[in-house]
Homo-oligomer: A and B are copies of this chain.
Amino acid sequence: MKIGQATIKDIARELNVSSSTVSRALKDYPGISDETKRKVKELAAKLNYRPNAIALSLRKSRSFTIGVIIPEVVHFFFSTVISGIEEVAYSRGYNVILTQTNEKFDRERSSIETMLSNQIDGFLVSYSKETQEFDHFSNLLDQGYPIVFFDRVPDIPKAINVMVDDYRGSYDAVSHLIRQGYKRIVHLAGPKNLTISKERIRGYKDALTDHGIQVDENLIVECPLGTDDESRKITAEILKSPAQKPDAFFGNNDMAAVGAMMACRDAGLKVPEDVGVVGFSNWQFCSMIEPGLSSVAQPGFQMGAKATEILLDIIEKKLDPEQINEPITLPTELLIRKSSVRTKN
């Protein structure tokens, strides 16, 4: 079965009119008798006619589909972003085709290829951790292909970037820790090739400096994986070495922060009394654990929505990409929970 999807031609044949007439009747073109319109529409409904979007795409070289390239779907933040993307795309009549790179550079490239084959109208991308050079994006940009980057954004000409204000979020979190009386604050940092990691490190440093605390590079520890296990081990190491004596941990993400909390517990240290902890992303579990984990909330949904709106505006020529010279920055919000609040000092 399934063969029998009715086409314009079928309707035309049955009604003894030309297919162009049918096409026009269906779209309420001027200059078609009401009589014909009615008949056509009736039959169309009866035959359950459904326009073939593929044929349309071929004709218009537009697919009304946007491609989303994302490192991992199973990631609270990213899934939130996808949700925002899907929401806006749907409401504006676009399809979303999705690929995850699993943080692989090769897969990023091949996904772009297949999407191009599919005449995607534009891209929404957050690049992989492996990605170190951006020619595959630059080429497209040079050809005038619409791309909007989000969260993990490249520093290349013509790129349109949507990101959260990582600097500010980080700055706020660290300032808060300092105000609570914590002094030796470790930053469990992310991969240093990512702009977001760099920005967060910058915010961390500036907050310290602005509060008269000298930056100690030894307290900036990279956690490339960003898992709780990894940071648990790293934190345990730090706590062992008597030289460090940190009294707070600021995680580049919530998993890292949780790992630190667990390591503290393992070492017999109390959070927040002995050690303060703040994370980044505000995953769902932050409010469920005990003590609640303070965290910098990122507006994932809004980010996805915003990026999509911009992309679609560009695709529909409502917006000239040249006009956008600065990254679009979305505000973060520091959510303070127990893990960083000293009842007394």
Mask for A1-39, Cβ within 8 A of B = 1, else 0? 110100000000000000000000000000000000000
The answer to whether A118 touches B290, judged by C-beta atoms less than 8 angstroms apart, is no
The answer to whether A118 touches B86, judged by C-beta atoms less than 8 angstroms apart, is no
The answer to whether A113 touches B289, judged by C-beta atoms less than 8 angstroms apart, is no
Q: Does A319 contact B (CB under 8 A)?
A: no
Copies of this chain in the oligomer:
2
What B residues does A57 contact at CB under 8 A?
54
Mask for A227-267, Cβ within 8 A of B = 1, else 0? 01000000000000000000000000000001000100000
- A117→B100 CA distance, assembly (Å): 25
Mask for A70-96, Cβ within 8 A of B = 1, else 0? 001111100110110010001000011
Chain B residue nearest in CB terms to A258: B288
Q: Does A325 contact B (CB under 8 A)?
A: no
- A144→B107 CA distance, assembly (Å): 34
Selected interface stretch from A45-53, A168-176, A177-185, A332-340: A45-53
The answer to whether A86 touches B98, judged by C-beta atoms less than 8 angstroms apart, is yes
The answer to whether B63 touches A54, judged by C-beta atoms less than 8 angstroms apart, is yes
Give the size category of A's interface with B: 35 or more
Chain B residue nearest in CB terms to A117: B53
What B residues does A96 contact at CB under 8 A?
97-99
Whether A2 contacts B143 in the complex (CB less than 8 A), given A74-B79, A79-B74, A114-B95, comes out as: yes
Q: Does A119 contact B (CB under 8 A)?
A: yes
- A113→B48 CA distance, assembly (Å): 11
The answer to whether B99 touches A2, judged by C-beta atoms less than 8 angstroms apart, is no
What B residues does A220 contact at CB under 8 A?
none
What B residues does A119 contact at CB under 8 A?
52-54
What B residues does A113 contact at CB under 8 A?
50
The answer to whether A118 touches B98, judged by C-beta atoms less than 8 angstroms apart, is no
25 contacts between A and B (CB under 8 A): A50-B113, A53-B117, A54-B54, A54-B58, A54-B63, A65-B118, A73-B73, A73-B86, A74-B76, A74-B79, A74-B80, A79-B79, A86-B98, A90-B107, A90-B111, A95-B99, A95-B118, A96-B97, A97-B98, A228-B288, A283-B285, A285-B285, A285-B288, A285-B289, A289-B289
